Amino acid sequence: MTQFWTDTVKRLTPYVPGEQRSGENITKLNTNENPYPPSPAVMQAIGNVSADALRRYPDPESVQLREALAAYHGVALENVFVGNGSDEILALAFLAFFTHEKALQYPDITYSFYPVYCDLYSIESQVISLEDNYSLSMDRFVPNAGSIIFPNPNAPTGLATPRDAIAALLKKHTEQVLLVDEAYADLGAQSVVGLVNEHPNLLVSQTFSKGRSLAGMRLGVAFGDKALIEGLQRVKNSFNSYPVDAIAQAVGIASIEDETYYKKTLSQIIESRDWTTEQLRSRGFEVLPSSANFIFARVPQQTSGKGSEPAAYELFQRLSAAGVLVRYWKKPRLEDWLRISIGTSADMHRLMDCIDA
């Protein structure tokens, strides 16, 4: 009964998440989840949450979790905001900082939630083209012509922008917010959280979903100047004062405290990423150097069945039929590429077996 929809709902093109197929013999390499379980300390923290804590509303300001994050990253409590996943934080930031007369600048190949939020909030956008090698040049952004958002590393390319290049942009871009989306920064990018005290217009978002194996928990964080954090809090408290539940707060603290386990799983992912990159390149694939928990690979034409579809799409279909899920976009500049999440060593060996079959 779509006659009840508002014009806003009618015009939306919603974000399409990766396929969530389950069952036996499924190797899921399409949603950039961490292939390893959370820290054992996380599971213990879940068991330690009392019935009384669940009976009551959680701390609306998540003070203990924010204190742990502030200490870990070397910033003040007032510089930290937490939310129900980094996507929620991005949604709050779009409303808080980007709904003005100037267009929001973001890359043409990037996280596809950005245009969705622009449509939702009627934000004008200015798309910035990546270079021919798919890198993101900071020189292509127009300083102070409008706010800027981009992921670092970028998605779906996995390419990272050096910290110095972002710092140079911040020196020129001082009148509008610059939001750096560090969802995948755990795996090799240089974080710019340390710059938030130098630049009052810098906002950095991160997530517990990737490096900390907590995608199912939905826990995100933002770092920024006190005024930016207050802006996020005002919008948050106008939607939902309690976005981070008691279990998530306890789990977040436990994860931060188990640095050894965190570093170990990151090391395993990087090792599998390097092995997979080498294996694909030996088979004729072009693979961009990744600083994320996925790789972006151009499929060679010799893998094609010589049909009318791009070779990448044909391989995507063949892998899907075999139960190996990867991500494909039939869009300009993307139709020859696959994005492949990094799984366990066994997952990646199965991928290679299916490619060779």
Could you read off the pLDDT of 327-338 as tens digits, one per residue? 999 999 999 999
pLDDT of 240: 95
**Average pLDDT, integer, range 241-269:** 97
The four Cα atoms 222, 226, 228, 229 give a dihedral, to 10 degrees, of 50
Which residue from 67, 68, 128, 75 is spatially nearest to 103, judged by alpha carbons? 128
Q: Mean of the per-residue pLDDT values for the chain?
A: 95
What whole-number percentage of the chain has pLDDT above 70?
Answer: 98
pLDDT of 16: 80
pLDDT of 304: 59
Residue 21: is its pLDDT beyond 90?
Answer: no
**Average pLDDT, integer, range 261-283:** 98
13 — pLDDT class (breaks 50, 70, 90): confident
pTM: 0.95
3-state secondary structure of 325: strand
Q: What whole-number distance in Å separates Cα of residue 88 and Cα of residue 298?
A: 32
Q: What whole-number distance in Å separates Cα of residue 354 and Cα of residue 357?
A: 5
Please state the length of the chain.
357
Which residue from 167, 100, 107, 173 is spatially nearest to 135, judged by alpha carbons? 107
Which residue from 288, 316, 320, 296 is spatially nearest to 304, judged by alpha carbons? 316
Query: 8 CB contacts (<8 Å, ≥6 apart)?
Result: 120, 122
What whole-number percentage of the chain has pLDDT above 90?
Answer: 90
Structure tokens at 240: 């939902």
Could you read off the pLDDT of 169-201 as tens digits, one per residue? 999 999 999 999 999 999 999 999 999 999 999
Residue 100: is its pLDDT beyond 70?
Answer: yes
Could you read off the pLDDT of 282-315 as tens digits, one per residue? 999 999 999 999 999 999 987 655 667 999 999 9
Which amino acid is located at 250 in the chain? Answer: A
Q: Does residue 174 contact residue 201 with C-beta atoms inside 8 Å? A: yes
| 295, β-bridge pairs | 340
- C-alpha triplet 85, 90, 91: angle, nearest 5°: 100
**Placement of tokens 């290679």 in the chain:** 352
Q: Which domains does the chain have, with CATH numbers?
A: 22-37+260-356 (3.90.1150.10), 40-257 (3.40.640.10)
pLDDT of 61: 97
